[in-house]
Structure 1
């Protein structure tokens, strides 16, 4: 069988585990919710086709760059709070289409679960055979959002989770002779929700805010690991703090100062986690990300990840999040 067939399941012990949220595709992740991240990630691989199912207990921001040449079709399995992909506001069992070589971003405001298929665009003709529209590769070349029927959507989700649970418990059941069956069983669950839905919902409700956020994030990308102050962003984008604040609240539910601090905390966490004790210091890493008041930094860090920086540096687990503690003044570090 070699690499042709794969069934893999693991517990998540930090937001970094979600970099592989879609099997075979790297995803950039920023933790938004507070607390120790708990969750699981399971993959089924059948040749170049894969199904990934992930669960997590805190809010997350996910981004994927445009280097992936595979088609990704995802479905929202569970959500305690709002979930948005691009400008699409997702409901339970909705299906999302991410075409090849297209950048993607999503925001999960709370605990959620998702499923994502990834495969070659050329496979749709055979995988969706019998459905003229779905078997046409052109159908999948544009990003899309399909609103699931409430009744059939729940059934499709139940079936999809059942397939994954079965294959996890019976790995030997995924053999070359049964692989095609399981692949089609997985695809059918997604297809049911697409076929029963309305046409793709292209009327995103946050386009202007998201365009501004995109410009901000392009500036942050150019800055790389360098910390960026909110005033620098205002200057670079040519907008006032009030406009920037409104856009961030509309998209993320928090202001830009809080969001930027969370990004810097996540950068510190990742650097500490990848470092060996004795080769770096917490103070150096924190200050390198713009945290000058180390006492306040430590408070933010513990509130965010549920552990002290020294525990992360020593090999502990952690994560990343958002909302500001009630009554606490915004940090100007």
Structure 2
């Protein structure tokens, strides 16, 4: 799977499998519902960062000791009946914060599915960069519950599952540069639901849009060809996601996510166009530039360039063959 990506996926046959419900953290589990527990559990590790997604078919009681020094942020993906963590009644896509060294207990009254990130508290400044309330480690030092917006929460939940699925099926591994991008993509799914629960913060000073855009483009130039996530830009430049979005809308008429996607599409196009025959594949180049849904990537690519990525790669092969003939 590559140096920066470790994947473990298994089927559950009994509640004991949920002792490792969160990668790297032991959880005491007791089955509440009747019947044989069935389910699935997947872990994706990107360096010291991990994402776990589990699903099970009967009620469960979970308890976690205070020995874990990592921050855990979880999301409820589905639930047939009531789910409560501490005194918080969870609704779909809600986000739960379990600070380091804090005991935790939860009750799932029926079949449920969840996602959980686990990483060092010191990493929040980088991973949640640009959003002052989220990038402050103090925000995460106490247990918390964030109510998700129904619409954006559902989108974030589906995206999170798709990311795990594509990383789990990834055959190419991750480089050091793309590993950071995928961590940020996972964190963003959780952050979207947290931000929808917070009051708006419109009191900050909005820098000149063009000056901010210039700083962004200078940062992207220094990053080279690696994919850069919006949250990385916010952290590096010390601006909020809202400020960045307003600046891009003013200058380009599109948001920073769309802008970065266009930039990555251009990078993929250049690589495919210049690749030697048999030296690469569309899938590997797309993955290394942050595209994990190849069908959607192809749609973006076709809309952008008027041809499919395989056609660009094929054209590169044809041009190379033509050059060889010309030299004979």
| 1:99 Cα deviation after fit | 0.3
Q: Which of the two has greater helix per residue?
A: 2
Q: Are the structure 2 counterparts of residues 171 and 44 from structure 1 closer, same or farther at C-alpha, using a change threshold of 3 Å?
A: farther
Following TM superposition, the consecutive aligned residue runs of length 4 or more in structure 1 with deviations greater than 4 angstroms are 1-4
TM-score (normalizing by structure 2): 0.59
Partner of 2:5: 5
How far apart are the structure 2 equivalents of 1:3 and 1:108?
36
How far apart are the structure 1 equivalents of 2:71 and 2:48?
11
The answer on whether the counterparts of 2:125 and 2:135 sit within 8 Å (CA) in structure 1 is: yes
| 1:30 Cα deviation after fit | 0.2
Partner of 2:77: 77
Secondary structure of 1:178's counterpart equals: helix
Does 2:167 align with 1:167? yes
How far apart are the structure 2 equivalents of 1:161 and 1:121?
23
Does 2:144 align with 1:151? no
Equivalenced residues, count: 199
RMSD after superposition = 1.4
Partner of 1:281: none
Partner of 1:116: 116
Partner of 1:91: 91
How far apart are the structure 1 equivalents of 2:22 and 2:119?
11
User: 1:137-185 CA distances to partner (integer Å, 9 max, x unpaired)?
Assistant: 0000000000000000000001000000111111434343321111000
| 1:36 Cα deviation after fit | 1.3
| Structure 2 residue runs without a partner (length 5+) | 200-328
Partner of 2:28: 28
Q: Are the structure 2 counterparts of residues 2 and 174 from structure 1 closer, same or farther at C-alpha, using a change threshold of 3 Å?
A: closer
The answer on whether the counterparts of 2:4 and 2:173 sit within 8 Å (CA) in structure 1 is: no
How far apart are the structure 1 equivalents of 2:43 and 2:183?
13
| Structure 1 residue runs without a partner (length 5+) | 200-333
| 1:84 Cα deviation after fit | 0.1
Partner of 2:101: 101
| 1:135 Cα deviation after fit | 0.2
Partner of 1:323: none
User: 1:16-37 CA distances to partner (integer Å, 9 max, x unpaired)?
Assistant: 1000000000000001111111
Partner of 2:188: 188
Secondary structure of 1:194's counterpart equals: helix
| 1:7 Cα deviation after fit | 1.1
Partner of 1:133: 133
Secondary structure of 1:92's counterpart equals: coil
| 1:198 Cα deviation after fit | 4.5
Does 2:45 align with 1:37? no
How far apart are the structure 2 equivalents of 1:171 and 1:125?
31
The answer on whether the counterparts of 1:167 and 1:174 sit within 8 Å (CA) in structure 2 is: no
How far apart are the structure 1 equivalents of 2:35 and 2:194?
35
Secondary structure of 2:7's counterpart equals: strand
User: 1:207-254 CA distances to partner (integer Å, 9 max, x unpaired)?
Assistant: xxxxxxxxxxxxxxxxxxxxxxxxxxxxxxxxxxxxxxxxxxxxxxxx
How far apart are the structure 2 equivalents of 1:166 and 1:173?
11
The answer on whether the counterparts of 1:85 and 1:107 sit within 8 Å (CA) in structure 2 is: yes
Q: Bigger radius of gyration, 1 or 2?
A: 2
| 1:5 Cα deviation after fit | 2.6
The answer on whether the counterparts of 2:72 and 2:118 sit within 8 Å (CA) in structure 1 is: yes
Q: Are the structure 2 counterparts of residues 23 and 10 from structure 1 closer, same or farther at C-alpha, using a change threshold of 3 Å?
A: same
